[in-house]
Structure 1
């Protein structure tokens, strides 16, 4: 099973995390299941870019982003070449390392 490594993030995952997921699982759902409170304002339908993540390694094991994901990524804060929307990423057989951006597009974040 693929392993997801989440790099430390001061608010969402201070210690970092590592967990296994089944191939085909949604990265966003896997993060939430493992208590990484990533934002997903559009309820994971690729319409808001609040679940923006940075795939630091293993991105070559994932499917390329489709046009809808690329359109939404244009609205993400801190966009990089390795940027993806967690709701669009389906894990395959390879391990990935994920960094969570410092800021989110959701300026009205509810606690």
Structure 2
């Protein structure tokens, strides 16, 4: 089972964290299942960028980006070449390391 290493984030996991999830699980689902309350304003329907993450290791092991995700990522705060929407980034067999950006474009947080 692949492991997701989450780099420290002042709000979501100040000490950083590591979680495991079965292949085929999105990064967003894995975080939420392990009480890391990443924003996901569109309920993981690939309609916003609030779950944006930067994949520091293991980027190429994730499922392919589709056109809808690529178009949305253009609007993400802090976009980098290895950015993904965590709701669309599907784990395979390899471990990944992610960083949750400090900000998102969402001005009002949802209570999920």
Q: TM-score, normalised by structure 2?
A: 0.95
- 1:9 corresponds in structure 2 to 9
For residues 110 and 60 of structure 2, what CA distance do their matches in structure 1 show? Answer: 34
Structure 1 residue runs without a partner (length 5+): none
1:62-77, aligned counterparts within 5 Å? 62-77=62-77
Q: 1:110 to 1:43 in 2, by over 3 A?
A: closer
Q: How many matched pairs?
A: 111
Q: Which residue of 2 aligns with 1:98?
A: 98
CA deviation string 1:38-61 (max 9, x = no partner): 000001000011100000000011
User: Distance in 2 between the 1:29 and 1:62 partners?
Assistant: 14
Moved over 6 A (4+): none
Displacement of 1:110 in angstroms is: 4.3
1:49-104 residue CA offsets vs partner (Å, 9 max, x unmatched): 11000000000111221100001101100000010000001100000001000101
> Superposition RMSD on alpha carbons, in Å?
1.0
Question: What residue number does 1:53 align with?
Answer: 53
SS of the equivalent of 1:12 reads coil
Distance in 1 (alpha carbons) for counterparts of 2:24 and 2:110: 30
- Which sections of structure 2, spanning at least 5 residues, go unmatched? none
Secondary structure in structure 2 of the residue aligned to 1:88: coil
Match of 2:81 in 1: 81
